[in-house]
Amino acid sequence: MTDGAGAGDPSPAILSDVAPAKVNLGLAVTGTRPDGYHTLVSIFLRLDLADTLSVVAGVPGGADTLRIDGDPDCPVEGNLVLRAVEALRTALLDGASLPALAFSLHKRIPLGGGMAGGSTDAATALRLALGAWGRDAEPRSLSRVASGLGADVPFFVASHPAALVTGVGEGIDPLPALRTRVGVLLVTPSHGMATPAVFRAFDRLLPPASGAAEATRSLAERWRAGLAGADLAVESAALRDANDLWRAVAVLEPRMARLRAVLESTLGRPVLLTGSGSTLVALYPSPDAARAAAHRIVPGEDPELAGIRVTATSDGHHQDEEPPP
Ligand code: C5P
């Protein structure tokens, strides 16, 4: 998306783009690397829920800047948008002499929610920075920059509707778009989960005896053969117990298990954990069904529902359809 300057208009062009969230469908932890990172097998599904990032190029030699609205808790300092541009400047030979970039970020993806909000902003920042500078990056160099920024960034740089993700996040095996949209109901508690703490707790617990890797790979096989949204919703029961980080999350934050129990009884369907939490996910055969289900969650009805944020969204594939409000 571009708001170009009109003819004779001296104001610089604004480039803007969405930064979509993801959910994990299955997450198996298969090993630990010497640097402490964990190898995973997971399906990442891109969502319509998205932040929006805009950029205007200034003059060479100035400082890159970032303005954020939509979430007062989202910090500018250390933000992955600025770190992404810094890393890109370092990777490009003449990076330091390229124009300063002024970014505006509108946050909609909850922080600490397991939906990779920071990582997707970073990937979109890389794309917009290259656009604003009129540059292309060599794919290998771009993936190195992406991996250096965070484990989830390569998925968003690759820009697939879904992928089987392996390694610590750099193995991206694209999956086709779903044939019809799946409805995704997101329930985000007021507290986030810190990913490093969840992985540390995972390391302290006994290794899971789960079949999460098999369940995730077998879903990827069926996905490649063609899946509709309704087919994916049917997988909810198998996916519920296919996130190896669940036990660590429940040990660190007992409120998560109580919230899941309340949601499963209110919604009458299995509730999944995305990533290291804290967002809980229910899948529906259509976006309309997810929106209808959202109305069944009444925050005042149970103390466990206090402060939650409920979002009905869908997979982000069918660009020809109107996105949900
Ligand atoms: O790479 P990212 O900054 O998203 O990861 C946050 C933290 O989560 C890492 O510092 C690491 O402790 C943990 N992590 C991990 N294995 C992964 C992804 C993340 O151990 N594959």
Which two tokens mark 153? Answer: 């960034």
Catalytic residue among 17, 64, 121, 152: 152
Which two tokens mark 10? Answer: 């001296």
Crossing angle for the helix pair 139-149 and 117-133, to the nearest 10 degrees: 140
Ligand 1: residue whose CA is nearest its atom 7: 196
Establish whether 152 is a catalytic residue: yes
Ligand 1: residue whose CA is nearest its atom 13: 196
Mutate to test the pocket of ligand 1, among 38, 193, 276 (most ligand atoms within 8 A of CB): 38
Cα of 151 to ligand 1 centre, how many Å? 6
Neighbour-count burial for 3-22, b at 16+ CB within 10 Å, e otherwise: eeeeeeeeeeebbbbbbbbb
Ligand 1: residue whose CA is nearest its atom 12: 196
Cα of 198 to ligand 1 centre, how many Å? 9
* Ligand 1 atom having least distance to the Cα of 200: 12
What is the pLDDT, as a whole number, of residue 10?
58
What is the pLDDT, as a whole number, of residue 5?
44
Ligand 1 site, CB within 6 A: 37-38, 40, 150-152, 168-169, 195-196, 199
Mutate to test the pocket of ligand 1, among 29, 30, 37 (most ligand atoms within 8 A of CB): 37
Distance (Å, rounded) from C-alpha 162 to C-alpha 165? 9
pLDDT per residue of the chain (325 residues) written in tens, 0 to 9 = 445 444 455 577 999 999 999 999 999 999 999 999 999 999 999 999 999 999 999 988 899 999 999 999 999 999 999 999 999 999 998 988 999 999 999 999 999 999 999 999 999 999 999 999 999 999 999 999 999 999 999 999 999 999 999 999 999 999 999 999 999 999 999 999 999 999 999 999 977 777 999 999 999 999 999 999 999 999 999 999 999 999 999 999 999 999 999 999 999 999 999 999 999 999 999 999 999 999 999 988 899 999 999 999 999 675 544 444 4
What is the pLDDT, as a whole number, of residue 9?
54
* Ligand 1 atom having least distance to the Cα of 167: 21
Cα of 60 to ligand 1 centre, how many Å? 34
* Ligand 1 atom having least distance to the Cα of 168: 21
Cα of 150 to ligand 1 centre, how many Å? 7
CA distances from 63 to 14, 17, 79, 141 (A): 17, 22, 14, 23
Ligand 1: residue whose CA is nearest its atom 18: 151
What is the pLDDT, as a whole number, of residue 216?
98
Cα of 215 to ligand 1 centre, how many Å? 22
Distance (Å, rounded) from C-alpha 262 to C-alpha 20? 28
What is the pLDDT, as a whole number, of residue 321?
46
What is the pLDDT, as a whole number, of residue 27?
98
Contact, 25 vs 43, CB < 8 A? yes
Ligand 1: residue whose CA is nearest its atom 21: 168
Instruction: Give this prediction's pTM.
Output: 0.94
Q: Count the Cβ atoms, other than its own, within 10 Å of residue 27.
A: 26
- Say which residues have a Cβ less than 8 Å from residue 82's Cβ, sequence separation at least 6: 64, 66, 76, 103
